[in-house]
Structure 1
Amino acid sequence: MMTDCDLTGDLNRTKTFEETLQQVIRQGGLCLMISLGHRTGLFDVMGNMDCATSQEIAARSGLQERYVGDWLAAMAHGDVIEYDEMFKTYRLPSERAALLTRAAGLKNYASHLQWFSIFGKMEDDLVRCFREGAGVPESVFADLQSNLTAEKSESDTNRLFKHVLPAVPTLIMRLCEGLDVLDLGCGSGATLLELATAFPQSRFVGYDDCAEQIQQARRTAEERGIENVAFFNRGLAQIHAIDAFDLITAFDVLHTQAYPFLVLDEAYAALRPGGIFLLQDIAESYHTERNLKQPFAPLLYAISCLRSMAQQNETSADSVSWGQEPLCQTLEAVGFEQIDVLTVPHDLLHSFYLARKPVTSAR
């Protein structure tokens, strides 16, 4: 029998949850507007200005004042920027610019918020996948990849040079001396081109299944006169090489593959004995309870839905159950050893997996 205390407790819990949902709606709108501020460059413009009116900010950014005014109002309401009621001016404080502008590098949180607009574009496809279990055309993922390529490549490159390469003993020295390197899912080649420039004695190859991205990579390499790099339009599970590379990298692409086990198997075969496989992927545990403490857990699970959509494009018998634990087990099952998981400061979305092919391989 329900007592008055029980009823009061239920009402209080309902009220508390209602307030939570109201905050979700408020923050959801703020996420989209912050993403707009990043993509239009408004945060970068304001980061180089002091107090300014809506008209002045619009003029400096080359954008329409009507829309800039609405965006500024949303940012002021969300306590992202400061608003002076007397002078009708807006200001982005330096301590906030340090987390919202491109100059912030790895600390730029605004770039992560582009994911929410992507999920909005794919909501109808996700609903259909929930009901039917089918996947979506690869062209959809190619379009999404092209939208994020510049941001993803810049962040990948920064993490790689500042945190990941120095964490692997002797790797930088060996790259200076000359290694054969393959990048799986190279996109438009930004990261690989920076590596090829930094290490001219090494030879670099990039594979990507998006023809438009490969064409762009080739054009950029030719324009910059970089000759120690080559790009090929090829599926990531179609390496078809034996003992050909000293280092193979795969940045944030394995979770979109219908046959990730086959990709790992091909990478293992293509590495020379003692070679290194460097994988960047979602910082997610297989165990739900361990992810509850992850501040970006809802976003990680949303990305996981996209991974499932990609895998359902084909009947995949070897798709791994995702998460750090099964991924490490899969790497070990393929034959890799000395598997390490690296984390990078200011990146709560990704982990780096470092695995080595035995010097004496049984395969």
Structure 2
Amino acid sequence: MPFDTHTAQRDPAAFADRLGEQINGAAVVTMISLGHRLGLFDRLAITSPCTSQSLAEACDLNERYVSEWLAVMVTGDVLDYDASSATYRLDPGHAACLTRSASPDNLAVVAQYIPLIAGMEERLLQCFRTGTGLAYPDYPCFHQVMADDSYQTVVTALFDHILPLIPGLTDRLNEGIDVLDAGCGAGKALLALAQAFPRSRFVGYDLCLEAFEPTRARAEELGLDNLHFEQRDLRAFDEPGRYDWIASFDAIHDQAAPDALLAGIARALKPGGVYLMQDIAGSSYLENNLVHPLGPLLYSISCAHCTPISIGQGGPGLGTMWGEETARHYLHQAGFDDIQVQRLDHDPFNVYFVARR
């Protein structure tokens, strides 16, 4: 919005109070991420109320550290504390937002992005000063965080919500078709699909071998012969007329050459084939995102990860919030004439583009 030079100065005390709340919130969220990774919330949901000692023993952790973590959760109004019995309790309403059984509504998964971003501060200082980018190996635990997030938004919704976005797709998968996940990450969606549809053939390409290697090993353990993973730089992707269905889940805006990849995807579809692109729901224009419920987080992820990753590959640095308008432009430019935009009730933070040539 335009500046109003006649507006009175904002109250600095009110701003300081709000900033203090945000700093406290950041501290709590960082500890929520730690609790998620240690399984503390999952255990609390089962054993509440409990003492710090019993919780530590149940999770095979050191009680002194668990006690300090519990203090953060109590002062952050995440847990309830009974001083008379020195016990801690996770309210069921809070557990519905913090435990693995609550997927896809487990916000503790999203909390992991905060310490991930904070841990990149020194490298980001250099990016700001030099204009250079970063590579995926520069980010600690990135693939695990993305796998957790993708499992919540994609895998748990795959059969009941995502596949029905394309009429008749489930029937075709049962009959047997060729499927590609371009930028597959951990590849957990492909694993689920390969198990559910043994007559179809599934391929996952990703730049990072370490992202999908555990899933590839799992597929071998299960004896799946219809699932193939390959490490590929997708900026030169060109496999004309090979696939009936291609999908990309939160992957295109990070690419070194998103325009070339999308054009390659368009060429790779067989006649009648369809492309499904999931990406962040938002506008390409900052002024349209002022009331976005996760605007600060998504722009922070963009600044700390998506933009430097693209720039590090020589890409345009579109960022997380490249927006629906820019995404439509890229799809049209790639040769997709029929583009439908879909949203799912359970997933307000992503948008799904169903595109055909």
| Structure 2 length-normalised TM | 0.92
Q: Report the CA distance between 1:180 and its aligned residue.
A: 0.4
Taking the aligned partners of 1:144 and 1:267, their CA distance within structure 2 comes to 29
Residue in 2 that maps onto 1:308:
307
**What secondary structure is seen at the aligned counterpart in 1 of 2:274?**
strand
Following superposition, the deviation at residue 235 of structure 1 comes to: 1.4
* CA distance, structure 1, for counterparts of residue 271 and residue 318 of structure 2: 26
Query: Given the alignment of the two structures, is residue 340 of structure 1 paired with residue 340 of structure 2, yes or no?
Result: yes
Counterpart for residue 104 of structure 2: 106
SS at match of 1:99: coil
Deviations 1:173-195 (A, max 9, x none): 11111110001122332211110
Q: Deviations over 1:144-164 (max 9, x none)?
A: 432324413422211222321
In 2, the alpha carbon distance for the partners of 1:115 and 1:109 equals 11
**SS of corresponding position for 2:211:** helix
Partner of 1:253: 251
**Is the Cα contact below 8 Å between 2:109 and 2:145 reproduced in 1?**
no
Partner of 1:242: helix, strand, or coil? Answer: coil
The answer for the alignment partner of 1:361 in structure 2 is: none
Look up the match of 2:132: 134
Task: Using structure 1 for the length normalisation, give the TM-score.
Answer: 0.90
Structure 1 position 351 matched with structure 2 position 347: no
Question: What is the deviation of 1:167?
Answer: 2.3
Give the number of equivalent residue pairs. 348
Matched, 1:31 2:33: no
1:272-287, aligned counterparts within 5 Å?
272-287=270-285
Whether 1:329 aligns to 2:329 is yes
Range 217-226 or range 96-105, more displaced: 217-226
- Cα 1:125–1:355 change in 2 (3 A) is same
Distance 1:111 1:65, change over 3 A: same
Query: Equivalent residue for 1:241?
Result: 239
C-alpha contact 2:110 2:149 (8 A) present in aligned 1? no
Aligned with 2:227 (options 218, 226, 229): 229
Task: Tell me which moved more, 22-31 or 321-330.
Answer: 321-330
How far off its partner does 1:345 sit?
3.3
Residue 52 of structure 1: aligned partner: 50
Letter in 1 for 2:130: E
Asked if 1:213 is matched to 2:189, the reply is no
Alignment of 1:54-133 (within 5 A): 54-133=52-131
Which sections of structure 2, spanning at least 5 residues, go unmatched? 1-5
Aligned-partner SS, 1:186: coil
CA RMSD of aligned residues (A): 2.0
The answer for the alignment partner of 1:151 in structure 2 is 148
Q: Distance in 1 between matches of 2:30 and 2:61?
A: 18
User: For residues 58 and 138 of structure 1, what CA distance do their matches in structure 2 show?
Assistant: 34
SS in 2 for 1:107: coil
Q: List gaps (5 residues or longer) in structure 1.
A: 1-5, 358-363
Distance 1:252 1:178, change over 3 A: same
Q: Quick check: 1:259–1:319 contact (8 Å CA) kept in 2? A: no
Pair 317,37 (structure 1): closer, same or farther in 2 beyond 3 Å: closer
Q: Which amino acid aligns with 2:326?
A: P
Three-state SS of the structure 2 residue aligned to 1:274 is strand
Distance across 2 between alignment mates of 1:190 and 1:88: 41
Deviations 1:108-144 (A, max 9, x none): 1110011111101111222222221111234225x54
